[in-house]
Amino acid sequence: MKRTASAQWRGDLKSGKGEISTESGVLSQTQYSFSTRFENGKGTNPEELLAAAHAGCFTMAVSAQLAAAGLTAESLETTCAITLDKLPEGFTITASHLELKARVPGATADQFHTAVQNAKTGCPVSRLYKAEITLSATLL
Rounded Cα distance between 73 and 105, Å, is 7
Give the confidence band of 127 by pLDDT, cuts at 50, 70, 90: confident
Asked whether residue 130 carries a pLDDT value surpassing 80, the answer given is no
Mean pLDDT of 4-33: 94
| Residue 117 Cα distances to 27, 36, 103, angstroms | 31, 33, 16
C-beta of residue 97 within 8 angstroms of C-beta of residue 28:
no
Pairing label, strands 30-33, 17-22: antiparallel
Asked whether residue 79 carries a pLDDT value surpassing 90, the answer given is yes
Q: What pTM value is reported for the model?
A: 0.89
Rounded Cα distance between 6 and 21, Å, is 5
Rounded Cα distance between 20 and 33, Å, is 10
Asked whether residue 132 carries a pLDDT value surpassing 90, the answer given is no
The third-level CATH classification (topology) of the domain covering 46-139 is GMP Synthetase; Chain A, domain 3 (3.30.300)
Rounded Cα distance between 116 and 139, Å, is 10
| Range(s) within the chain of domains with CATH label 3.30.300.20 | 46-139
Residues facing residue 97 across a β-bridge:
81, 134
